[in-house]
Chains A and B, each alone.
Chain A
Amino acid sequence: SSETTQDPAVSVALGQTVRITCQGDSLRTSYASWYQQKPGQAPVLVIYGKNNRPSGEIPDRFSCASSGSTASLTITGAQAEDEADYYCNSRDSNGNWVFGGGTKLTVL
């Protein structure tokens, strides 16, 4: 299957650490990329590959990891401005881009 799944919603207390996961067969052979989307805005690339952040734009509290068919995005010391929807993305075995269903992050 080329589907990737994410938990629909996750919450974190301000300043604490949260991990958002993405699962799918495509992640066994392809790194995930992660996107943040705030209401009414286009998605923004947060992190990709082996913990690569777009230069100068994304705080280093965002990190990523992968193991087997699971990829994860970790926010260490979540801030109020991190509240958003987060999507993972990868290419499947046919070369198609596949997005996860998205995770709504609430910062309490």
Chain B
Amino acid sequence: QVQLQQWGAGLLKPSETLSLTCAVYGGSFSDFYWTWIRQPPGKGLECIGEIHHSGSSNYSPSLRSRVTMSIDTSKKQFSLRLSSVTAADTAVYYCARGVSASPKSYMDVWGKGTTVIVSS
């Protein structure tokens, strides 16, 4: 059974860089879109972006200027960096496994989430 385990700093100051990593246990690392999603307190889900095992990535237009995703296939890990954070970036951040076989796409495995608070 595939599991995602995520970790990273939970408390940041404004202007710092958020850094999270997600490790994949069990199952294949190839042919999936490894995604990051966030959820501000009391609000809905927002997809930050994805990175394919090949290294190609696709970021949300609203966050593209501040987001970098990377992947380490040897460790079966993928990472998120979000620069210049503000209080608006306070959220629970999830990693997830995305499957795309047009016209159907879905995220079938999720990490437990990491709470990130941005406060001075």
Contacts and interface: CB of A to CB of B under 8 A. Distances in A.
A45 B44 contact: no
Given A42-B110, A43-B94, A43-B110, A48 B104 contact: yes
A44 B105 contact: no
Interface of B, secondary structure class, is: strand
A99 B46 contact: yes
B103 interface: yes
A98 B58 CA distance: 13
Contact of B107 (A33, A100, A102): A33
B112 interface: yes
Contacts of A89: 45, 47, 105-107
Contacts of B105: 30-31, 33, 48, 89-91, 97
User: In which size bucket is the chain B interface?
Assistant: 20 to 34
B35 interface: yes
A44 B105 CA distance: 15
Contacts of A33: 104-107
Interface string B96-112: 00101011111110111
A45 B46 contact: no
Interface residues of A, number: 27
A28 B111 CA distance: 30
A55 to B, nearest CB: 10
A97 B98 contact: yes
A43 B45 contact: yes
Contacts of B102: 30
8 contacts: A43-B110, A44-B110, A45-B107, A48-B104, A48-B108, A49-B106, A91-B105, A99-B47
Interface of B: 35, 37, 44-47, 50, 58, 60-61, 94, 98, 100, 102-108, 110-113
